Amino acid sequence: MSNNIHLTHNNIDEIINHLSLQQKAQIVVGVNDKYLTTNYVVQGAAGYTFAIDSLGIPSISLADGPVGVRITPEPTNAVYTSYATCFPSTTALAATWNKELSKMEGEAIGNEAKAYGVDVMLTPGINIMRNPLCGRNFEYYSEDPYLSGFMAANMITGIQNNGVGTSLKHFVANNQQTGKLYNDARIPLRALRELYLKGFEICIKKSNPWTVMGSYNKIGGTYTQTNPELMKTILRDEWGYQGLVITDWYKTRNTVEQINAGSYLLMPGEKQQIEDIINGVNEGKISMETLNKAVKNVLELIIKTPTFNGWKYTKSPDLKANAELAKNIAIESMVLLKNDSNILPIRKACKVALFGATAYKSIAGGTGSSNVNKAYIINVSEGLESAGYSLDADLKRIYGKYIDFKTDLQNKYPNSKKWEQLSYYRTIVPEMGLKKGENWIAEASSNSDIAIIVLGRDSGEESDRRLEGGFNLTSDEKYMINQVTDDFHKKGKKVIVVMNVCGVVETASWKDKPDAILLAWLPGQECGNAIAEIINGKAYPSGHLPMTFPINYSDIPSSKNYPFLDQKSGKNFDYTNYEEGIWVGYRYFNTADVKVSYSFGYGLGYTSFSFSEPKIKKVKNDYIASIKVTNIGVNKGKECVQLYIKSPNKSMIMPESELKAFGKTKELSPGESAIIELSFNDYDLASFEENISSWKTSKGRYEIWFGNSSTNILAKKSLEISTDKFWKVNDVLKPVEKVNELIINLQ
Ligand code: GLC
């Protein structure tokens, strides 16, 4: 066969006819960089595809991750070198409730990816926060599929607007790290459809990600990557997905079953998988038609990428502008949980007694594949000083010594490079015990104007979080909060707690002590600057919780079916029964009327807003709900409008309400108003009826609630649906054993 043919945008079928079986197998299996041919190599990317230079098929690169481009900032053989911007955690982005901001972040990440020659970004991760101990929750958006889905869809669109691909992950139900390589997620079908699949469905239909990444775990007793019910019946037949399904990294499965199920790019790739495919075809276990379909899917991805379309390194991205964006997203993500007598903002520069090891060694992001090789991290202490606050010198000295000592003690890679130390090997130090330091507290409370306590919680892909010292505070942390607040309050001075944490921690037992609490999440590289701007009023908080903060861990229904740390086998490792069904987060707490510490959607600002003039109109197939939001306070602010629907469906127990749309105002000055319009349709109102394998929107009166939290509804309308509507789906992904589902006794 003449080999002078080169891949173009229009000759994939012809190219496939020129490929040998060996070449076809090589194209659907990733290569690590030592096998790469002459193509340009993005050092430190997570994976690459196989190049066939003679046919003009380049190797493309796939790099992490959710909060920025993870590549090596000091490449050996590339034409450029630089860092990437470390944006706030995915959870923080979700807490902005700002779809446009998510798209802007996507644009910036896509811009950096394109500048550095990355073809596909392995993001966003949208698994549902079923339980706060999941170690990867910081990489995920929410306990709610609509908040997750629409925020992630905008991220995908933003990145792909740069001509760079994305990878929607981890499809599906990677909701625990313990045992994730083996765990069979046994999910009742209503919960699977309404919670765990819904966010993926929204993303596929709203933003069409170039790739979808199969998770490690099983669903319906079969690994997701070898499960045609998931990868074909639902993803392609029901949702119409045309893109490429790639596997998650390293853990291989049965190669023949993966290809036959529709996982068409095996990452990062092993030579054995190439042999498996060749043998599979020769033994008739993989049809040539299937292999050709897989190859076509990969080539269809390749011809979209910057590398195929003549990418040239032009100039570094505008890292300064992107850092400013990262800071502004961090600011907009922060949730003001408490602000007694409006002590925040503290506009005048004053003397701050800064407590907490994390204040001086702050946490920009989580660890694992979502890491970003950033150039710097602004600690809270540095941000406060840059903003003009002076820090108690003794405390600064003591914490500095403590942190240096602990860092040296814990540092397993003392000879690693500076950039590795900053990002990969940045040891988080445990809280310093103050029990022997009452005099420090006493002196600080005499010499300073206010106290700021920073609580830290990191998290990583490597494992789930621990309950004690993870969800619950340590005794040193509790002592610090109690002692400092007692001492400062005795002297008529205020105390602020800043939470530089990965996600949900226990708050109910101590939240009455400080005067203000600011939830800062993992704010990215601009951490300290963002926090300082909120504290001094140069900026204002407008974040709202993307998940519930319960009073006790045991209040959470899924706590009865979650592995303990380091569990190595058995129930909740080999399989997990999602007995809570749909009762996750606010769906449970608000319906079962169980008290929480902070509700889903909750967040304060430096001003307040009224909602008025609720309206609903039908425009073609959509309902347009609108609400007038007015700033009735004395400071600027942005308001988050959350639209909850209460369904009249009587054929099954319904949540008290469910989020179906949300929006955020632009900045409103005191007295200023804005109209927010939110759209939804009949399908959004549907619930999944397992016994008929169908979505159903029942006829009846739907209550439409406009709130700024799931428990603070500020305006209501109703909507009459005249006839039942159905959307039939396939009866697939049944759990291998019946799951004994939680029954909620309605009040
Ligand atoms: C990891 C993660 C996935 C990441 C991939 C490449 O194991 O599960 O999210 O994109 O490998 O690093």
Question: Measured from the CA of 250, which atom of ligand 1 is nearest?
Answer: 7
Residue 673 DSSP class: E
Which residue in this structure is represented by tokens 């789930």? 464
Q: What is the pTM of this model?
A: 0.98
CB 86 within 8 A of CB 124: no
Residue 683 DSSP class: G
**Which residue's alpha carbon is at the smallest distance from atom 9 of ligand 1?**
369
- For ligand 1, the distance from its centroid to the CA atom of residue 248, given in whole angstroms, is 6
- CA distance linking residue 334 with residue 350, whole number of Å: 22
pLDDT band at 1 (very low <50, low <70, confident <90, very high): very low
Predicted local confidence at residue 436, as pLDDT: 86
**Which residue's alpha carbon is at the smallest distance from atom 7 of ligand 1?**
249
Residue 7 dihedral angles phi and psi, to the nearest 5°: -60, 130
For residue range 102-157, what is the model confidence (pLDDT) as tens digits? 999 999 999 999 999 999 999 999 999 999 999 999 999 999 999 999 999 999 99
Q: Of 122, 170, 372, which is best to mutate to test ligand 1, by the most ligand atoms within 8 angstroms of its C-beta?
A: 122
- CA distance linking residue 465 with residue 131, whole number of Å: 10
Mean pLDDT of 352-369: 97
Closest to 221 in 3D by CA, of 747, 688, 742, 732: 732
Closest to 41 in 3D by CA, of 89, 3, 75: 75
Question: Measured from the CA of 249, which atom of ligand 1 is nearest?
Answer: 11
For residue range 313-344, what is the model confidence (pLDDT) as tens digits? 888 899 999 999 999 999 999 999 999 999 99
For residue range 169-196, what is the model confidence (pLDDT) as tens digits? 999 999 999 999 999 999 999 999 999 9
Q: Of 136, 167, 369, 463, which is best to mutate to test ligand 1, by the most ligand atoms within 8 angstroms of its C-beta?
A: 369
- For ligand 1, the distance from its centroid to the CA atom of residue 167, given in whole angstroms, is 10
Q: Is 686 in the pocket of ligand 1 (CB under 6 A)?
A: no
Closest to 366 in 3D by CA, of 232, 248, 438, 459: 459
Q: Is 169 in the pocket of ligand 1 (CB under 6 A)?
A: yes
- CA distance linking residue 223 with residue 243, whole number of Å: 20
For residue range 5-63, what is the model confidence (pLDDT) as tens digits? 999 999 999 999 999 999 999 999 999 755 555 556 788 899 999 999 999 999 999 99
Return the bridge partners of 247, or none: 214
The reply to whether 248 belongs to the active site is: yes
State how far the alpha carbon of 310 is from the alpha carbons of 14, 307, 313, in Å.
21, 6, 10
- CA distance linking residue 327 with residue 682, whole number of Å: 38
CB 451 within 8 A of CB 353: yes
The active-site residue, picked from 64, 144, 248, 684, is: 248
State how far the alpha carbon of 575 is from the alpha carbons of 88, 223, 569, 726, in Å.
32, 12, 9, 32
